[in-house]
């Protein structure tokens, strides 16, 4: 039986249930849509390097990058068949990704949805790791890591996070490093798989012109074929001891760039939120940042006219239960002026707040962006999967956003920025020898 959640404003419905093996199933019908999308995901990402295995009491620690490594190896089939070729037979496009807190496998198709769904569930439920294949994969992922090390956007953010965080794994690359992946064994992969790729720790989200009861019938049939010896219960993720202080206020690197790149970040110690409270914190900060630094803000336009910033200017906020941070980044020859003016405008905004008219304009824009999510099956599935692991839905997302007040936004901005908890990451052009 499905639990049915309705959103009358957009005439949208979410169907949710739990399968016989403990897997959560979410179905979002989109009548008349030509595309179908399915995402099979686990509440497991690069941050989960320390955990207490199901049924045990002692914490184990695995190498950095193992979640990403495991994602790569999941495409190996015991029978030697190529997963991508299997999907291609039915016209589907598959892929996967690993984040800090989630690993997801998915496909998008226009026909043969249930055949593709069967392939998706079957290969994610069929781990096959050998010593030889793991050793071979180390070279492939090593090349990927080396490639990222040559990307200035990747390097500047990694350096910033390592300046902000002492212990939290968010300070590390999702793929790990050459040294850490060299320690990964096929036994470690099975350990992580058997604990985190546990139906009780996973969710299957399907979106498209599909019938919920038919999806349920097929999903139950497919998971019944699962022959794994699954753990009973959920893996324990220990709380990470992260001090409120930053590591250091400044870090720089030299790379082959045309002009300096500067990123200013602030460690948000106002954490611990879950569910809708976490949504509320994110919405309040996101609106505050748009008001402060968006294309219609005084800060952006004043800096643009002074040629301190240009189209390379970016800003954003990452807010999770255990960690959160905001950042501003730009390529500029005037990095010192950028930092000085940024801090000046932050202080002024904390004192003066935001205009109510501007707040309502930005809030309406955010609500419009969310409504547009429902026009894309990919976006619906990805957002719904992520929300499921946070104990919320897309409908909660709308309701919380709609309830945000100017006072919420003003308070969020004031509590976020603190010079003592801020750091600067800079990439400078490599000096060419004459």
The label of the residue with tokens 């994110």 reads 282
- Same domain for 394 and 266, yes or no, is yes
Is 348 domain-assigned? yes
- Same domain for 272 and 386, yes or no, is yes
- Same domain for 209 and 76, yes or no, is yes
Is 164 domain-assigned? yes
- Same domain for 298 and 166, yes or no, is no
- Same domain for 38 and 146, yes or no, is yes
- Please give the pLDDT value at position 81: 82
Q: With left for phi above 0 and alpha for psi between -120 and 50, is residue 344 left, alpha or beta?
A: alpha
How far apart are alpha carbons 245 and 247 in whole angstroms? Answer: 7
Q: With left for phi above 0 and alpha for psi between -120 and 50, is residue 39 left, alpha or beta?
A: beta
Residue 85, domain extent: 3-223
Is 303 domain-assigned? yes
Catalytic annotation, pick one of 71, 242, 320, 331: 71
- Same domain for 208 and 277, yes or no, is no
Is 232 domain-assigned? no
Cα 200 to Cα 5, 25, 152: the distances in Å are 21, 11, 39
- Same domain for 130 and 254, yes or no, is no
Is 233 domain-assigned? no
- Same domain for 146 and 204, yes or no, is yes
CATH of the domain at 340: 3.30.830.10
Is 434 domain-assigned? no
Is 229 domain-assigned? no
CB-based contacts of 342-349 (< 8 A; 24+ apart in sequence)? 342/264, 342/299, 343/419, 345/292, 345/298, 345/299, 346/292, 346/417, 349/292, 349/299, 349/413
The pTM of the full predicted model, rounded to 2 decimals, is: 0.94
Residue-level pLDDT, tens digit, the chain, 434 residues? 899 999 988 899 999 999 988 899 999 999 999 999 999 999 999 999 999 998 889 999 999 999 999 999 999 887 778 899 999 999 999 999 999 999 999 999 999 999 999 999 999 999 999 999 999 999 999 999 999 889 999 999 999 999 999 999 999 999 999 999 999 999 999 999 999 999 989 999 999 999 999 999 999 999 888 877 666 677 899 989 999 999 999 999 999 999 999 999 999 999 999 999 999 999 999 999 999 999 999 999 999 999 999 999 999 999 999 999 999 999 999 999 999 999 999 999 999 999 999 999 999 999 999 999 999 999 999 999 999 999 999 999 999 999 999 999 999 999 999 999 999 999 999 976 55
Residue 322 half-sphere exposure, CB side, CA atoms within 13 Å? 16
Is 366 domain-assigned? yes
Catalytic-residue membership of 71:
yes
- Same domain for 297 and 211, yes or no, is no
How far apart are alpha carbons 61 and 83 in whole angstroms? Answer: 31
- Same domain for 196 and 263, yes or no, is no
β-strand partners of 426: 252, 262
- Same domain for 114 and 255, yes or no, is no
Domain count, the chain: 2
- Same domain for 258 and 404, yes or no, is yes
């Amino acid at each position: 039986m499905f639990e049915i959640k309705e959103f009358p404003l957009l005439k949208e419905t979410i169907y949710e249930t739990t399968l016989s093996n403990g897997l959560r199933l979410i179905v979002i019908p989109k009548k008349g849509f030509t595309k179908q999308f399915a995402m099979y995901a686990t509440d497991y990402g690069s941050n989960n390097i320390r955990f207490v295995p199901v049924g045990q009491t002692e914490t184990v620690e695995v190498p950095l990058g193992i979640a990403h490594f495991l994602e790569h190896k999941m495409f190996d089939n015991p029978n030697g068949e190529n997963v991508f070729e299997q999907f291609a037979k039915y016209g589907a496009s598959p892929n996967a990704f690993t984040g800090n807190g989630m690993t997801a496998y998915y496909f998008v198709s226009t026909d043969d949805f249930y055949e593709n769904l069967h392939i998706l569930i079957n290969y994610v439920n069929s781990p096959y790791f050998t010593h030889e294949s793991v050793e071979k994969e180390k070279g492939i992922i090593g090349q990927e890591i080396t490639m990222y090390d040559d990307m200035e956007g990747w390097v500047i953010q990694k350096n910033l996070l390592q300046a902000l965080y002492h212990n939290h794994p968010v300070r590390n690359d999702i793929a790990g490093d050459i040294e850490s992946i060299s320690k990964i064994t096929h036994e470690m992969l099975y350990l992580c798989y058997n604990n985190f790729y546990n139906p009780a720790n996973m969710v299957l989200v399907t979106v498209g012109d599909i019938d919920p009861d038919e999806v349920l019938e097929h999903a139950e049939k497919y998971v019944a074929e699962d022959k794994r010896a699954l753990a009973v219960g959920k893996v324990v993720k220990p709380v990470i001891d992260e001090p409120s202080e930053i590591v250091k206020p400044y870090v720089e690197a030299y790379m082959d760039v045309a002009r300096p790149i500067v990123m200013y970040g602030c460690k948000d110690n106002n954490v611990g939120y879950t569910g809708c409270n976490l949504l509320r914190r994110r919405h309040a900060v996101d609106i505050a940042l748009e008001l402060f630094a968006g294309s219609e803000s005084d800060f952006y336009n004043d800096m643009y006219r002074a040629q301190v910033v240009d189209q390379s200017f970016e800003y954003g906020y990452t807010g999770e239960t255990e960690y959160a941070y905001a950042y501003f980044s730009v390529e500029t020859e005037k990095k010192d002026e950028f930092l000085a003016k940024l801090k000046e405008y932050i202080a002024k905004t904390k004192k003066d707040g935001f205009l109510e008219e501007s707040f309502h304009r930005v809030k309406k824009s955010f609500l419009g962006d969310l409504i547009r999510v429902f026009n894309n099956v990919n976006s619906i599935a990805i957002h719904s999967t992520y929300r499921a692991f946070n104990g919320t839905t897309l409908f909660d997302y709308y309701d919380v956003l709609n309830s945000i007040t100017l006072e919420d936004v003003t308070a969020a901005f004031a509590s976020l920025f603190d010079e003592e908890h801020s750091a600067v990451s800079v990439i400078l052009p490599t000096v060419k020898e004459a």
